[in-house]
A = this chain, B = another copy of it.
């Protein structure tokens, strides 16, 4: 249990109401009970303010006055919520246990404080830092180094020589450092181009379930500090992702593309190879990026859904655009004096 006064201190907030009231968990406005704390960051949910049973609501200066019960006034209620949710839901302590069924090379260096799950395989010359938690069934190949406080889920595969910083979070099914798609056509037959680079990943990176990050062809694929990757993203060989860039699910980035810092890439975006995307670029979902982007700002492409009937008609019109343009040209000539 935490008093609202204690909660407020954690988020530089101010209590409106009873600052001795106690809460023990977070919930939504709609479902919270009296010892839970909730938040209002999206005006869509303002309608629940009058009926919420939450013991307190994290709110902005503007909205706090509409809270009928206790409120904690903060600059950014969503950030405050994230901080308080983490405070009230501490991660379980990592017990320094090596599961009996884990297979760890005698040449690997695993911190004494690490936890290694069942059926994990750790190969030669791997080093894993303090406080790591390695989920069941994960396989870490030779020469991999991983910093402190790693949270690695079950059934992850980390290939040879990948270097990972501190505070990594890797969700299940992730593959890091598998061969890039390097092939060369020798008189009609494709031969494999050896993929000799690896992957370097900075600090504070999160990688979503079943995302794949290929090793570099000669130099390394690089994921900067603070990068957040959602599920089922494909990052190809020699891509470089700048610090604090976030990428939503199902994005595919072809090889040798460099994405700047503080970019936000929406779900399902596809980015061609050998491009440069500058810092501070936002790309909306399902956009197709075929050229470098040199100016910060928001970029988009793709047609939003319409009824299939209307779509059929518009596709026909689209295909006639060339002719339509010619017809307009002709009309313009006719209209000339």
Contacts and interface: CB of A to CB of B under 8 A. Distances in A.
A118 to B, nearest CB: 5
Contacts of A182: 82
Which size class do A's interface residues fall under?
35 or more
A61 to B, nearest CB: 18
Contacts of A228: 181, 183, 190
Contacts of A212: 173, 208-210, 231-232
A79 interface: yes
Nearest to A281: B305
Contact of A136 (B139, B179, B183, B282): B139
A308 B302 contact: no
A181 B103 contact: no
Interface of A: 26-28, 31, 76, 78-79, 81-83, 85-86, 89, 99, 101, 103, 117-119, 121, 135-137, 139, 141, 153-155, 157, 159, 169, 171-173, 175, 178-179, 181-186, 188-194, 196, 206, 208-210, 212, 214, 218-219, 226, 228, 230-232, 234, 236, 244, 246, 248-250, 252, 254, 262, 267-268, 270, 272, 282-291, 293, 297-309, 311-315, 317-322, 324-325, 327-328, 331-332, 334-335
